[in-house]
Amino acid sequence: MEQNRVCQACNKVISGRSDKKFCDSYCKSSFHYQKMIEDTPKFYSRVDKQLKLNRRILKIYNKAGKVTVRSNVVLDLGFDPNFFTHYWKNNKDEVYLFVYEFGFMKKKESGIEKYVLVKWQDYMFKKQL
């Protein structure tokens, strides 16, 4: 007596080999793709999400190429300075942390914490750490 087997992706009845798990290659591919997405480590998703948020915030506040903004302004929007992609040191040994093409450096002026925001420039490529 033959048992009715169903496709693991779409639940259609399968005919053919006894060890067959999917009705066609599309269902097989779709099933494994969904499984891969579900198994993606949460850590990488969190890092990617925070980097995208940081970049968006820096882009909003840095329209001119260089600007200074109070730290609480960007921090209140969810900016996290611990998430960055690379860094660059200028001639004064000041280190700018970058989120893709937008950089920032923490600075204290008159007791107020601020961020100096910059945009990546071609000359920085030669002086990169």
Hey, what amino acid is at 32? H
Rounded alpha-carbon distances, angstroms, from residue 53 to 12, 58, 100, 104, 117? 42, 9, 12, 14, 15
Residue of 118, 121, 53, 59 whose CA lies nearest to 82: 53
Mean pLDDT by 10 residues, the chain (129 residues): 81 90 94 83 86 97 93 97 95 95 95 95 69
For position 1, what pLDDT does the model report?
44
Q: So where are the chain's domains?
A: 5-39, 42-126
Question: Tokens representing 96?
Answer: 């700018």
Beta partners for residue 95, in sequence order: 89
